[in-house]
Copies of this chain bind each other. A is one copy, B any other.
Amino acid sequence: MNVVATSRARARIEITAAIKDVARRHLAAQGAAALSLRAVARELELSSSAVYRYFPSRDELLTALIIDAFDALGEAAEKADARHDPNDFAGRWLVVCRAVRRWARWHPHEYMLLYGSPVPGYAAPPDTIAPATRVGAAMARILQEAAVSGVLPPAVASVAAESGLADDALALQQSLLAGVPLPTVLAAIAAWTQVFGLVTFELTGQFHNVIDHHEQFFDHTCRVIGRSLGLPSP
C-alpha cells in the first residue's frame, strides 16, 4: 500500500461519492420513497448488482444520505452562527434560524427525509444520532453563551420541581444549556420545535391561503421567539 492511495482506492472513493450524488439527486427529484438502487445504477451506467460493492443494501445508502444531510444542515447552521458577531445573541439566533430555512428550501426532499414521515420499513441506525443533534446544539450554544455572559434575564416563572419535566429540563441544563434558567430551557426546546414546525409547514404547503409572505413571517416569528427567550441585541 502506497502513501498515495492506489487507483483502486481512489476509484472506490469517487464512485461511492458518485452513487451518493446521483441518489441525492433522485431523492431531490422524487422523494425518499421513490429512491431506487436500480435507477441510480442505470444513471451511472452500472449494473444494479455493482452498486452492492459500495453499499450493502438500499437502507445503507439511505442512511448515508441521511447522515450527509444532517451534517450539511448542521454545518449551514454552524457557519451562519460563526459569521455573526458573537455578542449579538438575538442576531445569532435569527441567522441560525434563517440558515435552517434556507437549507430546507434548497433541499426540500432531503429536509423532509430528516424531519418528515419516517420512510416505511426503514429504521434509523445509531450512526445518525450524532449528526442529527448538530443544529439543536448550535441553537443551544447561543443561549448558553448568552447565559455565561450574564445577559439573560432571570426566570420569571418556575418549573414545578416535583414533575418529571423538571428532570428533563435539569438534564438539558447539565448537558447543553449550562447556566440557563429552567423555564428558559423548556422554552428553548419549544423554540427549536417551533422553528422546524415553521419550516415544515412552509415546505408542505400548509400556509397556502394563510400566509403568503413566508420569509417575512418566518423572520418575524423567529425574532419574537428570540425575544421570548430573552436573547438581547448588542
A-side residues, CB < 8 A to B, are 30-34, 112-113, 115-121, 129, 136, 159, 163-165, 167-168, 172, 186-187, 189-190, 193-194, 196-198, 200-201, 204-206, 209-213, 216-217, 220-221, 224, 228
Contact = CB atoms under 8 A, between A and B. Distances in A.
A198 B190 CA distance: 8
Contact of A217 (B168, B209, B213, B221): B168
A198 B200 CA distance: 12
Contacts of A165: 213, 216-217, 220
A164 B118 contact: no
Copies in the complex: 2
B216 A164 contact: yes
A53 B201 CA distance: 36
Contact of A172 (B164, B189, B204, B210): B210
Given A165-B213, A201-B196, A212-B164, A220 B116 contact: no
Interface centre among A117, A196, A198 (most CB of B within 10 A): A117
A132 B221 CA distance: 23
